[in-house]
């Protein structure tokens, strides 16, 4: 498989009203890949970057925000195929007031049920979201 692009992506999440919510990006209608669909924040890894360095740079560009810490979820592939290094970080209830969106139509917190029903989401992105949901659920449930 010839990789089109290597990407570093972030899933900000929060736990509200006994459920996890994931903050996703509504891609621009003019995006070269997957226009007008919901996806992860982040973007391309440059030749001299590690996924972690690219993640911080991309999140600062897109959200004018720097995560204090983040954890690696895994490496996933989409249909382009892009290789996605996906990270996650917990955010607080005021997260949307702490960011400035620069490279997206907007952002939204999604519950698991909303992710399952959302048709305007990159199909392959649902697997890492469900994997993260399962990982976080195991941490909360004794």
Work out the pLDDT band at 139, boundaries 50, 70, 90. confident
Query: What's the pLDDT band for 141 if we cut at 50, 70, 90?
Result: low
Strand partners, 23: 109
What is the reported pLDDT for 27? 97
In angstroms, the CA 54 to CA 48 distance is 9
Q: What is the pLDDT of residue 142?
A: 57
Q: For position 89, which CATH number holds?
A: 3.90.79.10
19: which strand partners? 16
pLDDT at 59: 98
Cα distances from 141 to residues 11, 18, 74, 136, 137, in angstroms, run 21, 11, 22, 9, 6
pLDDT on residue 84: 98
Question: Which single residue is written with the structure tokens 């048709």?
Answer: 119
What stretches of the chain adopt beta strand conformation (E)? 5-16, 19-26, 38-39, 41-44, 71-77, 82-90, 106-110
For 9-46, the pLDDT digits (tens) are 999 999 999 999 999 999 999 999 999 999 999 999 99
Q: How many domains does the chain have?
A: 1
The range of the structural domain enclosing residue 46 comes to 5-140
**Predicted confidence (pLDDT) per residue in 99-134, tens digit:** 999 999 999 999 999 999 999 999 999 999 999 999
Largest CA distance in the chain: 45
């Amino acid at each position: 498989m010839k990789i089109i692009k290597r990407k570093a992506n972030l899933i900000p999440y929060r736990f509200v009203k006994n459920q996890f919510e994931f903050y996703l990006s509504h891609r621009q209608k003019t995006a070269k890949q997957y226009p007008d669909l919901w996806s992860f924040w982040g973007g391309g890894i440059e030749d001299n970057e590690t996924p972690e360095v690219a993640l911080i740079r991309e999140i600062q560009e897109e959200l004018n925000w720097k995560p204090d810490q983040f954890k690696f979820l895994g490496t996933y592939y989409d249909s382009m195929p892009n290789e996605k290094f996906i990270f996650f970080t917990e955010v607080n209830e005021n997260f949307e007031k702490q960011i400035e969106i620069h490279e997206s139509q907007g952002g939204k917190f999604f519950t698991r049920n909303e992710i399952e029903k959302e048709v305007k989401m990159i199909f392959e992105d649902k697997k890492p979201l469900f994997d993260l949901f399962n990982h976080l659920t195991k941490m909360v449930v004794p």
